[in-house]
Amino acid sequence: MKSRLITEYELIPEKVAVSETLYHTANGYIGVRGCFEEGVPSGVKSIRGTYINAFYDTEKLHYEERYTGFPDYSQCMLKVVDAQSIKLFIDDEEFSMFEGELVSYKRILDAENGMVERVVQWKSPAGKEIELTVKRMVSFSQKEAFLTSYHVKCLNFKGLLKIVSSITSQVSNMSAEHDPRLGTSGGNRLLVKKISQSGNISSLECQTRNSGLTSICSMSNKLDTASESIVTDTDNSISETFELHVEAGSSVTLEKFVTYTDSVRYEDPFKDNISINQSIQSAGFKKMVALQKQYLDEFWNHSDITIKGNDDIQNGIRYNMYQLLQSASNDMYSNIAAKGLSGEGYEGHYFWDTETYIYPFFLFTNPDLARNLLMFRYNTLNGARRRAREMAHPKGALFPWRTINGDECSAYFPSGTAQYHINTDVAHAVTQYWQVTNDHEFMADYGAEMLFEAARVMYDIGLYRRDGKFVINEVTGPDEYTACVNNNYYTNLSTKHLFEHCGNVLKLLKDLYPKALKKLAAKIDLDDDEVPGFQKAASAMYLPFDEELQVHPQDDAFLDRKVWDIANTPKDKFPLLLHYHPLHIYRHQVCKQPDTVLAHFLFENNTPLDIVQNDYYYYEKITTHDSSLSTCIFSIMASRIGDEKRAYNYFTQTARLDLDNIQGNTDHGIHTAAMGGMWMAVVFGFAGMRIVNGELTFRPNIPSEWKQIDFNITFRRRQLRISASKTAITVKLLKGEAINVFVDGDMIELQPEEVTA
């Protein structure tokens, strides 16, 4: 595997903020944007930031007209103490990438060793030359650790070298009043409670203004050359300064060890922080790098996708998978934010993105981590129950549309709370986990409770109309350019599947876990006739269909709206949400992203393929793809209907969405859901993988531009290797017991180490 996924050779001031996103380092717990240690001049746009997953502040929401059920508080993932800063002085000249002469420059994202490396040869305005090599990483083996190796080689310089390493709480979240994809909760929200010095470890203890959460950041520095240091502090920062006289040709290396802890996860965050800092100091930078590579070797062994045919696309695929790993929480306190831990877009909130777009990647490559992601939803189930009561539902749970701590914080209900499909999305992830892992105990202990509670709310918002059909009114589907409608096709179809799965789970509990069923029934007061009632509603579910056009309307009134003239809409008016009032958009047939088309992907049923094809081409004409969640689904479903050209064209827009800044807002953070969608487009799209009636199936449709794709998946405690070309597919059982799979409808019996075409 080529470890150097991306390399930057040129400093372009206008692209600094985008590069800070692309070169960020994270591990699911902490994320550090790829900022220059020394900083940038005031005229250069830079979004400097470090984040802890699920570390947030709240702020009272203000409404001119407030109604029952509106959330009381917003939530915002906060910037925490900035520990990136290392300043370098050569005599009286301060190193800056933007002054003097950059003789050479490169920055590398190394996904095999898990670090970002910057190499600079620099000539100062006075002609003094140095070579600077900076390596930095956030550790996967010790999630609290952020480490930097700062190596200075003096090329023609003899004199005084000064290095200043700092941590500071002078950080402020960004805000944008006119872009709902950002937040309005800007400013500095950290209060310094304590500054400490313990041996060679300096620390800042900070508390949020409103949520009362505490975070600790500690720093220790180790110079490989004998030198005295001076530690100084102010009200909000600590610095350690090293000064030494150097000769031309000499080198010096500073290793900086930083640890973060918080009150969300640790009973004594200060004590734990100091202990961890001492531990990583003792290990040293080289040892931590070795552990990093060991972790990543295992990750790539289970997750890598190789293609033969296009190096740029190959690079994009691996970059996206690596970023998914960097974004994924592996504890029960947090989930995956819309921008991972790379930036502040969407204020660090968790959406349906995780379950629908990101979750499948981990489910088929790291099922234990996938289980943890579901446990976050289970651990916040009481908050979902409270939300259901706020929304007048006497039973059940309503998962929040956007959240950090499990409480709803979406202030605009038409594209927030009205998206009741969040319940079916979480439920779909639960049933997927069950199908892929056969983890019956998880379903008995946790999954059934989530399904039944989610189903209760979906049943409560529905009703039987006069013709006996079960209908669901006043909801918003995945397409946020159409809001508060009756019988959104996606919502109705996904609810039908939820109701049916509740019946399957009830049977599992009755047959294998009667004690667990009795306990659950008592806990949530489950009536004997509730689940049969769900199944009856599933059989009667109304799914809109227009006989004349032979398409599924997105909702009851969708086809009666005026079609938006996308072709003649000026390019500078996209995305529409930033330039038109929502009501104007809602009155038109126009889609931000797939809705009905997404339903056909997630809930394959007995819909004839020609109808799926009709829906695809109908909605393609009226979809703007203003959402980064869009093109991956259109790629997958183009593969499904056999439109190879569209499948590949949409895929190329997804594979390098951030690397090429296609959406124009990568500076605010990566698009994690699109990255998950990219993986799905390869595996579910081109390889045609599905689970049908509990069986693993493949319908490959490999692009003509590629010679072959190879990837691994984990399915029911077995590891499989799939290799597919335009004319053939082979499936190899690498680990586990014998299993049957289906390729183009034909059953294949796989034995260990047996390759079958």
> Which residues are designated catalytic?
480
Q: Token pair of 32, please?
A: 């550090």
Q: Supply φ then ψ for residue 724, to 5 degrees.
A: -140, 140
Whether 632 and 654 have beta carbons less than 8 Å apart is answered as yes
- Strand runs (DSSP E) across 434-484, as ranges? 462-464, 470-472
Residue 588's CB is within 10 A of a number of other CB atoms, namely 19
Whether 175 and 57 have beta carbons less than 8 Å apart is answered as no
Residue 605's CB is within 10 A of a number of other CB atoms, namely 10
Any idea what DSSP says for residue 573? Answer: G
Residue 248's CB is within 10 A of a number of other CB atoms, namely 13
Q: Distances from the Cα of 145 to the Cαs of 115, 116, 139, 599, in angstroms?
A: 13, 15, 6, 41
Burial class (CB in 10 A: 0-12, 13-18, 19+), 438: middle
Whether 363 and 428 have beta carbons less than 8 Å apart is answered as no
Q: Please work out, in degrees rounded to the nearest 5, the angle formed at the alpha carbon of residue 606 by the alpha carbons of 680 and 548.
A: 105
Between CA 256 and CA 259 the distance in angstroms is 10
Residues in the chain: 757
Torsion of CA 573, 579, 584, 586, to 10 degrees: 80
Number of helical H runs and strand E runs in the chain:
19, 31
Q: How many CA atoms lie within 13 A of 694 on its CB side?
A: 5
Q: Single out the residue of 195, 361, 357 nearest to residue 270, CA to CA.
A: 195
Any idea what DSSP says for residue 98? Answer: T
Between CA 100 and CA 154 the distance in angstroms is 16
Between CA 547 and CA 545 the distance in angstroms is 6
